[in-house]
A and B are shown apart, each in its own frame.
Chain A
Amino acid sequence: MESLVEHLQRFSELLAVSRTTHVSTWDPATVRRALQWARYLRHVHRRFGRHVRIRRALERRLQNQWGQEGASGSAPVPGLTNFQALGRGDLLLSLRLLENRALGDPDYHYLLRQLFPGPGVPDPDEEALQGSLARLARCRSAVQLLRFSGPGEKSALEDPVLKTQAELLLGRLREVPKAEAEGPSRFLSTLWDRLPQNNFLKVLAAALLLPPSSPRPQGEELEPGTPQTPGDGAQELVRWLLEKSDVLAAFCRSLPVGLLTSVAGRHPALCRAYLGLLTDWGRRLHYDLPKGTWVGAEPQHVSWEELYGRFQSLCRAPPPLKDEVLTALEACKAQDGDLQVPGVSIWTDLLLALGSGS
């Protein structure tokens, strides 16, 4: 068991190195060893697939690495994240090495000979790896071909690119060690700091809108002992958003209005938070008598038009959401004295503008 764990560790280090310029010091023998280790781990994966005890032990070790690498700040995610990854170690390693320009010519040449031995390969493992790589190439060209057919739907609800990123995100979230309750939150915060934020927000929205039984991105079968809780990922996201007010503000401010309405419809907690923000923003506006309209004190404040647009979208949503929004507006209006005169309470004016006879 110990030697197995040692192998795991060495391979993880190897994976980390395989992306760096350090590979320029390698020689073909190193490449051979690396591939052999990867193959060994594939055997381990096959052999101990049903062995719950050993799997658990290995997974625990892998999870420890999350903590280490996260602390060292090198990457938010370790190279091998779970037991399943052991079965694909050779694929991971191969792709990294193929992409690494620092890998010397003799090493690259050797690598290609190993990965692509040609037709009629007797070794089933080699054939499997060659097949996976060929399939990947085919899959990529399929994506390119399908793109020919035109842009199609671009709303985040259906945009395949966003949806795929969302699935990947939830997949990773599932793997974050649950040992500490803070694990997922910390992970998400790290991502927020490192990744382009605009895109990240859209992906969050798409993830929150995925159907509840979203399949795992790599089609892994259920491991024995893992509870199938697909809703968990989304819950983690909601929790984190509610914790981080700055992210929440950015989320609600920069995403398209219709998208936010959909999210609010799905997640009651977020709906309340959104409404809270909207009321805050509303309160910052004051009535400009000469202009005859509501304006903000500062240019970055949300404008009347924008506020109205958001409420309009919310009121177009189906019942539970729509009613909740109207109730909230009525409550605000009541707080302000429940007057029907325009220009005094922004909530009155909003309700009037929305034509809320419905």
Chain B
Amino acid sequence: MNKPSRISKKSAWQATVKVHHLFPFSKMAQDSVGFSSDYQFWMQKLSVWDQASTLETQQDTCLHLPRFQEFLRQMYEVLKEMDSNTIIERFPTIGQLLAKTCWNPFILAFDESQKILIWCLCCLINKEPQNSEESKLNSWTRGLLSHILSAFRFDTKEVGLFTQGLEFTPADYYPGLLKNMVLSLVSELREYHLNGFNTQRRIVPEKIRLLSRICIPLVTLPDIEPLVEALLTYHGHEPQEVLWPEFFDAVNEAFLLKKISLPESAVVCLWLRHLPSLEKATLHLFEKLISSGRNFLRRIECFLKDSLLPEAACHPAIFRVVDETFRYALLETNGAPEVIAAIQVFTGCFVEALEKKNKQLKFTFKTYFPYGSPSLVMVLLQHPKEIPQELWHQPLKHISEMLREIVEDQTHRSYGGPFECWFLFIHFGGWADIAAEQLVMSEAEPPEALLWLLAFSYSPRDRSLQRAQTMAEVKAVLIRLKKLLGSPSLSAEDLQAAAAESRDRDPRPPLCQQLIRRLLLNFLLWTPRAHVIAREVLTLMAPTDELTHEMTGFLDQTLYRWDHLRMEATGPRKLARELLAELRPAGSAV
């Protein structure tokens, strides 16, 4: 069964991603009715919310914060074109609307709403009031602005007198007070955490729930970050989740947009406690990987490390979710090389993180890869760096045999079918690349195990007959290529002929052809004599855009692997770099 063409790979993946809504508040509802009806709608809402002192009003306010901010922006655009009198004519109740907004601290605390509100209020100020009405309006507006900005408001008059007596402004007092209030709340949360049941002052679940609601509009305010962190890492003794779900949403979104910086432990808590956040984070990463440009594994690695997902994945629960998403993407895109590359880089980062945490977390590998046989997993996890290069054929052979056993065993499906096997294997796809190199580099006859491994990795769905044919083709090409090494002169045409398919046979399946192209490129890199004709060979292959894309991917992947394995390979490296630079479109270098 031939695989369908992969032209629409990218759009398929994008479709996958769009199925999950990333940001529920991203766009204002498509309102065709106009600004006036919005105005009525929000006026009503504000009246119901009042000062947002009950649970229901707080919850409802928080749900509407981004949309209301959009409305404020629109309103400002309308108001700034008018003068004060026109505004009152056109919107007689605007004073009410703005006042109610001022008195709702949730709205003022959110993002830029306070700034936009101030802009709107500024529009109401009359430069030269002509009568007492206009004067009164001015006075009233100034009062509101003072309420938001410059007035000292205190529980007791004495505090006001003290602060002003020392010549401090609200700009000195409030940031300091906020910092101290946050510190006090954090220590309340931590104290419970440390002392469990024994502490006298136990913070009640109600208060924690309330705090999580209060923090929703504030998550992007840097001063609040310690409190957010303390809430996320708070572990009470209540059976169900005590934090408000919208709180998790707000924190997650702020984290993904880099509007808050949290330590890894807090982010892990967030994702462990709230699955939708983890899913959003994974999809957000995928979107980034798609749009980041093609075949830059270093860049992919940066994105991955940046996202904190590899570290978080040291918790098997998180790993499973991310892995499932990768699996889904892989199936939807029919094994797109971009997805495979992302899986490999992810696994690499994950293993690295796991090694660093070795002292703290101890889960068996079975928890991460329940679909793979544990012994296979152990072998795959070996790092080639730890094995001398000349001995690499041993683990390769071992892997091949184990995989083959599972794949060809029709009766016992204890570890899933060929797809599960293959999915596990491509996490550690570096082994396939090493196999390809070994085949090209060694003098001896190509070992069956390696041939099988390569054929399987490129075309997992083949039946035995097809696989055997692929293996035979590959073997034939390798023998032809190596024979050429014996001849005194090496020409591009010779090489191309050696790799070409024979005319009297069925045309090669595309994946088999791809594998052979891969081997040819390997051959070029590892045969010093072939370096001079490398470009000619490539030209003869008549690369289309897609083929160029494929070769760029291969070269990038190879260089990335050599860096990670710290392989010297100066000659091949130089050629690979040069070819990569030439193949890549101008201006897209890393």
Contact across chains for A160 and B165 when beta carbons are under 8 A apart = no
Contact across chains for B171 and A91 when beta carbons are under 8 A apart = yes
Map CB proximity to A onto B206-235 as digits: 1 under 8 Å, 0 otherwise. 010011001001100101100000000000
Partner of A105, one of B114, B129, B153, B159: B129
Chain A neighbourhood of B170, CB < 8 A: 95, 136, 140
Contact across chains for A139 and B159 when beta carbons are under 8 A apart = no
Q: Which of B141-149, B436-444, B484-492, B526-534 contacts A (4 or more CB under 8 A)?
A: B141-149
Interface-centre pick from A118, A136, A137, A148 (highest chain B CB count, 10 A) = A137
Map CB proximity to B onto A139-183 as digits: 1 under 8 Å, 0 otherwise. 111111111111011000011110111011100100000000000
Contact across chains for B158 and A196 when beta carbons are under 8 A apart = yes
Chain B neighbourhood of A195, CB < 8 A: 158, 161-162, 165
Tell me how far the C-beta of A98 lies from the nearest C-beta in chain B, rounded to whole angstroms.
4
Tell me how far the C-beta of B28 lies from the nearest C-beta in chain A, rounded to whole angstroms.
17
Contact across chains for A142 and B224 when beta carbons are under 8 A apart = yes
Tell me how far the C-beta of A72 lies from the nearest C-beta in chain B, rounded to whole angstroms.
15
Q: Which of A127-135, A251-259, A271-279, A293-301 contacts B (4 or more CB under 8 A)?
A: A127-135
Residue A200 lies at the interface, judged by CB distance under 8 Å to chain B:
yes
- Which applies to chain A's interface (DSSP): helix, strand, loop or mixed? helix
Nearest A-chain residue to B224, judged by Cβ: A142
Chain B neighbourhood of A132, CB < 8 A: 171
Contact across chains for A168 and B163 when beta carbons are under 8 A apart = yes
Tell me how far the C-beta of A71 lies from the nearest C-beta in chain B, rounded to whole angstroms.
16
| Number of residues of chain B lying within 8 A (CB) of chain A | 68
Partner of B176, one of A99, A109, A130, A168: A168
Residue B172 lies at the interface, judged by CB distance under 8 Å to chain A:
yes
Chain B neighbourhood of A109, CB < 8 A: 125-127
Nearest B-chain residue to A190, judged by Cβ: B165
Tell me how far the C-beta of B163 lies from the nearest C-beta in chain A, rounded to whole angstroms.
7
Map CB proximity to A onto B162-193 as digits: 1 under 8 Å, 0 otherwise. 11011111111111111011111101100000
Chain B neighbourhood of A91, CB < 8 A: 169, 171
Tell me how far the C-beta of A206 lies from the nearest C-beta in chain B, rounded to whole angstroms.
10
Contact across chains for A196 and B151 when beta carbons are under 8 A apart = no
User: With A and B bound together, what is the CA distance between A143 and B217 in angstroms?
Assistant: 13
User: With A and B bound together, what is the CA distance between A161 and B178 in angstroms?
Assistant: 9
User: With A and B bound together, what is the CA distance between A262 and B104 in angstroms?
Assistant: 40
Residue A332 lies at the interface, judged by CB distance under 8 Å to chain B:
no
Residue A76 lies at the interface, judged by CB distance under 8 Å to chain B:
yes
Contact across chains for B183 and A160 when beta carbons are under 8 A apart = yes
Residue B150 lies at the interface, judged by CB distance under 8 Å to chain A:
yes
Knowing A118-B80, A149-B185, A160-B181, the reply to whether A136 touches B53 (Cβ < 8 A) is no
Residue B347 lies at the interface, judged by CB distance under 8 Å to chain A:
no
Residue A227 lies at the interface, judged by CB distance under 8 Å to chain B:
no
Knowing A137-B118, A142-B223, the reply to whether A101 touches B142 (Cβ < 8 A) is yes
Residue A51 lies at the interface, judged by CB distance under 8 Å to chain B:
no
Interface-centre pick from B115, B138, B146 (highest chain A CB count, 10 A) = B115
Contact across chains for A138 and B167 when beta carbons are under 8 A apart = no
Contact across chains for B218 and A108 when beta carbons are under 8 A apart = no
Residue B355 lies at the interface, judged by CB distance under 8 Å to chain A:
no
User: With A and B bound together, what is the CA distance between A143 and B148 in angstroms?
Assistant: 12
For window 307-334 of A, CB contacts with B under 8 Å fall at none
Interface-centre pick from A109, A133, A145, A148 (highest chain B CB count, 10 A) = A145
Chain B neighbourhood of A139, CB < 8 A: 174-175, 178, 221, 223
Partner of B177, one of A88, A116, A141, A143: A143
Knowing A153-B188, A165-B162, the reply to whether A143 touches B174 (Cβ < 8 A) is yes
Contact across chains for A116 and B122 when beta carbons are under 8 A apart = yes
Interface-centre pick from A138, A144, A194 (highest chain B CB count, 10 A) = A138
Tell me how far the C-beta of A105 lies from the nearest C-beta in chain B, rounded to whole angstroms.
6
Contact across chains for B223 and A152 when beta carbons are under 8 A apart = no
Partner of A75, one of B158, B167, B173: B167
Chain B neighbourhood of A168, CB < 8 A: 163, 166, 168, 172-173, 176
Nearest B-chain residue to A146, judged by Cβ: B181
Binding site for B on A (CB under 8 A): 75-79, 81, 88, 91-92, 95-96, 98-99, 101, 105-106, 108-109, 112-113, 116, 118-119, 130, 132-134, 136-150, 152-153, 158-161, 163-165, 167-169, 172, 191, 194-196, 198-200, 203, 217-218
9 contacting pairs across A/B (C-beta < 8 A): A78-B167, A95-B170, A118-B80, A142-B109, A142-B178, A145-B214, A149-B185, A153-B201, A195-B161
Q: A106-B127, A163-B180 are in contact. List 15 more A-B contacts (CB 8 A).
A: A109-B127, A113-B122, A136-B170, A136-B175, A140-B149, A141-B108, A143-B181, A152-B185, A160-B181, A167-B180, A191-B166, A198-B158, A199-B161, A218-B175, A218-B176
Binding site for A on B (CB under 8 A): 53, 76, 80, 105-106, 108-109, 112, 114-115, 118-119, 122, 125-129, 135, 138, 142, 145-146, 148-151, 153, 155-159, 161-163, 165-178, 180-185, 187-188, 201, 207, 210-211, 214, 217-218, 221, 223-224
